[in-house]
Amino acid sequence: MAQVLPRPVSAEKQVPSYFRSRHIPRRFRGLLLGLFFLAVFAFLIHSHYFLSDPVDPVDPVYFLHGLPKPEPGPNPPRFFEWYEREKRLPQHNPDLPYPQGRDGSYIRFANQGNSVGWGNIMQEVILNAHLAYLSKRTYVFENYTWDMTPGDFSNFQGKPIPARVPLTSLLSGPTAGDPFPSSADTPPAVIPEFFYTVCPTPTIIHRDEVNGLLPGASASSLFHAWIDKLEHIEDRCVEIQRGTWQVFDLWLFGDSSRLLDLWPSLSTSPIMTHFSWSPLIIAALVANADVIHPALSSATSSSFMPHSNPAPLAGLLALHVRRGDYIDHCVHLTTWSAVYMGFNGFPGLPDKFPPPPPYGPDNVPPEEVVRYNRHCFPDINQIVTRVREVRVSLLPTTSLTRVYVMTNGKPDWLRELKDALQEDARREGLDEWDHIGTSRDLRLTREQRHNSQALDMAVAQRAEVFIGNGFSTMTSNSVMLRAAHEYPWNKTRFW
């Protein structure tokens, strides 16, 4: 039986009806039809409709940095290619001569924190890597882990997120497997899979073998004790016991009186002097230079290494404005009589926060809640007032012209904040801001979106002036990096 084909539709009937209007001369119909399809094509390109994942605008700079193509699909990214790149690092060869390979000395912190924000993990990673460097053992770097379960995905506030993120998608430098400077004579860091290849039965140490003997000790005292402990272990393979509390914990990072005596050592360590952000983060900064600062259009990894002495981004004011869960967190800080996070307590910083006496959760005076909120969860009027105070205090030597807001605030609230900043500048006789951008304005791939806290820290690191949240680890890391650059203390402020 012959196949019955559908009747062809006439060419005229394939044209939208509004192009077949009898009021349009035939000679113009082809031209208008061509313009119509050209406009549709331009719209699709502009909206990135042709990409495998239309929510991911991929700037060509992403590929110029040699990065893996973003993963398509509705799920969060799994960073598979990033893990493969880590495996291919040249130090992952057991046949390399000493001090690498199967004869090298290693330390793995299997108890690295998890299920907390990147700011908390980053400060721990930096100190773990510094301890490995000082103890002359190769550092084993871990993923940034939110969820220890075997699955690829976890959940945060009802939304799926990657359960684990490879460190090399966040950082670069010696902490994340890049070579140390030649003067350090230290092998590059390795991943856990290689560690167990050359160290199948490492010596396991419980953190309390050291920390338990020094309750409340300063960071420097802890370092000296750990270095002494590790020097007396003959096994070239050491692992800090999984499931134990961290070697450098939140109580240490929350107390500048204990933390800051380590700064002379840390600030001169290759872990800090050659610290930088991953190519993924650098690519995001370059692609969003119009939102943040034009100078970032030529950013490279060395643009963020303290040893290369990069100049601050002239005229840029970065603001860390935390919303969301901080509405409750800032109240809890009041009941704990919390002080500014460790690196936010550098003596040279002009803004201090004297804590109240410990009232207890049921006895906090209302005026203390108001005081904490002003510094921890400021409203729009308080933000605008503080920005004006800092801006005016730096005139005439420093002219601030752009604002970048590091935030998890909602878009409507941020539009109100932008309008209020411009209106206040006009009302007070100051120059209007040339541009106000926010974290919500960025064009990011899915991988970059899940690492966007690192991008915001990079902006705060290089901004000419930074106003941060003294109770935040994200601000504390940014302040640490600004101190490594030796930027003027009076250009790092708090709410």
Mean pLDDT per block of 10 residues along the chain (495 residues) reads: 35 33 47 46 34 41 65 86 96 97 98 94 98 98 92 87 96 97 92 98 97 96 98 98 95 94 98 97 96 97 96 98 84 87 96 87 86 92 98 96 96 97 97 97 93 97 97 96 98 98
Separation of alpha carbons 167 and 128, rounded Å: 14
In this structure, which long-range contacts are made by residues 304-307, counting pairs with CB atoms below 8 Å and at least 24 apart in sequence?
304/275, 304/276, 304/277, 304/458, 304/461, 304/462, 304/481, 305/173, 305/273, 305/274, 305/275, 305/276, 306/272, 306/273, 306/274, 306/275, 306/481, 306/484, 306/485, 307/181, 307/273, 307/274
Burial of 360 (0-12, 13-18, 19+ CB in 10 A): exposed
Burial label for 440, CB within 10 Å (0-12, 13-18, 19+), is middle
pLDDT, residue 129, reads 98
3-class state of residue 109 by DSSP: strand
pLDDT tens digit sequence for 25-45: 555 445 544 544 444 334 333
User: Range(s) for CATH 3.40.50.11350 in the chain?
Assistant: 311-494
pLDDT digits (tens, 9 = 90+) for 472-481: 999 999 999 9
β strands within 252-373, DSSP E: 276-277, 313-321
Fold of 311-494: Rossmann fold (3.40.50)
Query: Taking the C-alpha atoms of 61, 91, 81 and 170 in order, what is their torsion angle to the nearest 10 degrees?
Result: -60
CB 487 within 8 A of CB 479: no
Q: Which of 180, 149, 182, 185 is nearest to 164 (CA)?
A: 149
Specify burial of residue 65 (Cβ count, 10 A radius: 0-12, 13-18, 19+): middle
The two three-digit tokens of residue 282, written as one number: 């650098």
pLDDT at 17: 35
What does each C-alpha distance from 71 to 17, 20, 55 come to in angstroms? 40, 43, 12
Which helix (H) or strand (E) is 237 found in, with range? strand 237-240
Residues 467/317, Cβ–Cβ less than 8 Å: yes
Say if residues 420 and 386 touch (Cβ distance below 8 Å): no
Identity at 37, one-letter amino acid code? F
Predicted pLDDT at 21? 39
